Amino acid sequence: MRKISTLSLSLFLLFSIVVTAQIPAGYYDSAIGKKQAELKTALHLIIKTANVPSYGSGAGSTWAAFAKMDVRPEDGTVWDMYSNNHVAFNGNSAASGMNIEHSFAKSWWGDGRQAAQDVQHLCPSNSTANSAKGSWPMAVVDGKTTFDNSCIKVGKSSSKPGMTLDAWEPADEYKGDFARMYMYMVTAYEDYATLWTGNSINQLDNNTYPVFEQWTVDLLLKWSRQDPVSQKEITRTNEAYKIQGNRNPFIDYPLLAEYIWGNLMTVPFTTDGNVTYPYLSTPSSGSVVDFGKVVYQHNSTSTLQLKAVNLTGDLTLAVSGTDAAEFSVPATITKADAEAGYTLTIQYSAKTTGAKTAQLTISGGGISNTVVSLKATCSDEFLALPATNITHSGFTANWTQSAYAEGYTLDVFSLQSNGATQPKTVLTEEFASGLPSTWTKEGYADNTSLTGSMRLASGSSMGKLTTPAMDLSSSGNSITVRAKQYSNDTGAQLTALLDGQPLTVWSTAVDFKDYTFDFPAATATSTISLSAASGSRVYVDNVVVKTQGAVQSAVSVSGFPKLTGNVLSYEVSGLQSDSTYYYTITPVGNNVAVSDKISVHTTQPNAIVDLQDIRIDYRVIAGGVLLSGLPAGSSVSLLDLTGKRLKTLESKESDVLLPLQNRGIYLLQVQQAEGLKIVKILY
pLDDT of 3: 34
Q: How far is CA 550 from CA 556, 557, 658, in A?
A: 19, 21, 43
94 contacts 88 by C-beta, under 8 angstroms: no
Residue 570: pLDDT band (50, 70, 90) is: very high
> Which has the higher per-residue pLDDT, 614 or 543?
543
Summarised one tens digit per residue, pLDDT across range 476-488 is: 899 999 999 988 8
- Phi, psi angles (nearest 5°) of residue 300: -145, 150
> Which has the higher per-residue pLDDT, 445 or 261?
261
Residue 147 has pLDDT above 90, yes or no: yes
pLDDT of 612: 54
- Give the least confident one: 309-313, 408-412, 429-433, 559-563: 429-433
| Strand 370-379, strand 288-295: pairing | parallel
> Which has the higher per-residue pLDDT, 17 or 539?
539
Q: Over the chain, what is the mean pLDDT?
A: 87
Residue 220 has pLDDT above 50, yes or no: yes
pLDDT of 14: 39
The distance from CA 410 to its chain's CA centroid, rounded to whole angstroms, is 38
The distance from CA 379 to its chain's CA centroid, rounded to whole angstroms, is 23
Q: How many CB atoms lie within 10 A of CB 315?
A: 27
> Which has the higher per-residue pLDDT, 487 or 208?
208
Residue 641: pLDDT band (50, 70, 90) is: low
> Which has the higher per-residue pLDDT, 112 or 268?
268
Read off the pLDDT of each residue in 420-430 and give the average, rounded to a whole number.
Answer: 88
530 contacts 494 by C-beta, under 8 angstroms: yes
pLDDT of 89: 97
* 126-147 as b/e: b if 16+ CB within 10 A: bebbbebbeebbbbbbeeebbb
Read off the pLDDT of each residue in 279-284 and give the average, rounded to a whole number.
Answer: 80
Cα angle vertex 553, ends 547, 558, to 5°? 150
139 contacts 154 by C-beta, under 8 angstroms: no
pLDDT of 44: 97
367: exposed, middle or buried (Cβ count in 10 Å: 0-12, 13-18, 19+): buried
pLDDT of 146: 92
